[in-house]
Amino acid sequence: MSAAPQPSFSPSPRPEPTEGDLATLKKSRDYCRDLTRHAARNFHYGLKLLPEAKREAMYALYAYMRLVDDIADGESPGNDPARRGADLDQWEAQTRQAIAAADGYAQLPRGHIVWPAFSEMVHAYHVPPRVFQDMIAGQRQDLDAIRMPDFAALREYCYRVASVVGVASLYVFGFDGGEATLKLGVDRGIAFQLTNILRDLREDSSRGRCYLPESELAEYGVTAQEIASGKNAPGFRRLMDFQIARARDFYDRSAPLEKQVHADARPTLEAMTSIYRGVLEKIARRPEAVLKGRVGLSTFAKLRIAWQALRHHRG
């Protein structure tokens, strides 16, 4: 199998960290771990199955993604789209600085405790900077009213906010198969995001964000306003059946991914995928439930999935 693609930058070897650097790095890692534990409803159960070094790197990746997502979603008084756009500009500049900090901790941004762990993760696993550029571009789409005229627009959005996370994760996990495997990671990310969109349909619509393609809403005779109000329109079930079938297709087409990641990361990928697909299948059994609130799996169900994934691969 071909080697993994090389990143678009080659950081120089870093000098040995000082005691102060190590203390700051520990605080950064602790912050990322705590944020992931409290905020990652689905990811955390799978990440616990990784070896420590990869687990800490994934905590840093998740924390980074969560923080930039919070910037785009922030809706406190006075935090209008223009202000959030300026905050994203600053975050993007700090991201570039953290990635370019090849000479050690002294060059890291000072704006947030996440940067030491983030920079360590990027440099240790050679994560391509483009994934963070694309991710921030996706968050910029959420600053204004969301409009998805067709699936091509939705697919691009899913790539920017979810597939890039999948690609970055593959670099941390370790993988074989080169670009073909990265494409599988893109499809798996789209499957995850399509599941998220269906799960959060009512909540997003009530905030003026309907991610379902306008062409498909019109085809099935459903409006974003009906979804926001929780109305079970006559065509809603058929619309949901179509969306669920599409998400299943992305899970199925990315099925070879598990065999391409390194063995110590397979239980994590399997657990995370089983949790997300479990949410999708729960929605499929009763699609109208998403009009009342978020559909999810119980903590016990997630723990059972994680245990089964670990047992399967250790066996």
pLDDT at position 183 over 60: yes
CB atoms within 10 A of CB 315: 5
| Res. 89 pLDDT band, cuts 50 70 90 | very high
Q: Is 310 a residue whose pLDDT tops 50?
A: yes
Whether 140 and 133 have beta carbons less than 8 Å apart is answered as no
What pLDDT does 8 receive? 43
Q: What is the pLDDT of residue 84?
A: 87
Q: Given this model, what pLDDT does residue 12 score?
A: 45
Q: For residue 275, give the nearest of 299, 239, 311, 255 by alpha carbon.
A: 299
Point out the least confidently predicted range of 103-117, 156-170, 219-233: 103-117
Of 78, 74, 108, 51, which Cα lies nearest the Cα of 261? 51
Residue spans of the domains in the chain: they are 19-144, 145-315
Question: Given pLDDT bands bounded at 50, 70 and 90, which one contains residue 275?
Answer: very high
Region 157-185: mean pLDDT is: 96
SS in 3 state form for 69-115? Answer: HHHHHCCCCCCCHHHHHHHHHHHHHHHHHHHHCCCCHHHCCCCCCCH
Domain 19-144: top CATH class: mainly alpha
Q: Do domains 19-144 and 145-315 have the same CATH topology?
A: yes
Q: Looking at residues 143-147, what average pLDDT do you find?
A: 77
What is the amino acid identity at position 148? M
Compare 6 and 313 and report the one with higher pLDDT: 313
In this structure, what token pair is assigned to residue 63?
């924390």
Q: Please give the average per-residue pLDDT across 69-92, as a whole number.
A: 81
Cβ 133 vs Cβ 93: under 8 Å: no
Q: Are 295 and 252 in contact (CB under 8 A)?
A: no
Residue labelled with tokens 């050679």: 126
Do 243 and 283 touch, CB atoms closer than 8 A?
Answer: no
What digits encode the pLDDT tens for the residues 118-144? 999 999 999 999 999 999 998 888 787
CATH number of 145-315: 1.10.600.10
Query: Which pLDDT score is estimated for 81?
Result: 80
Q: Which residues pair with 261 in a beta bridge?
A: 175
Output Rg (C-alpha) for the chain, integer angstroms. Answer: 20
For residue 109, pLDDT over 50 is answered with: yes
- pTM listed for this prediction: 0.88
Tell me the two tokens of residue 175. 């993988």
Contacts of 245 (CB under 8 A, 6+ apart): none
Residues 6+ apart with CB under 8 A from 145: 208, 209
What does the pLDDT average to over 222-227? 94
Question: Of 149, 169, 155, 174, nearest to 253 (Cα)?
Answer: 155
Q: What's the chain's average pLDDT?
A: 88
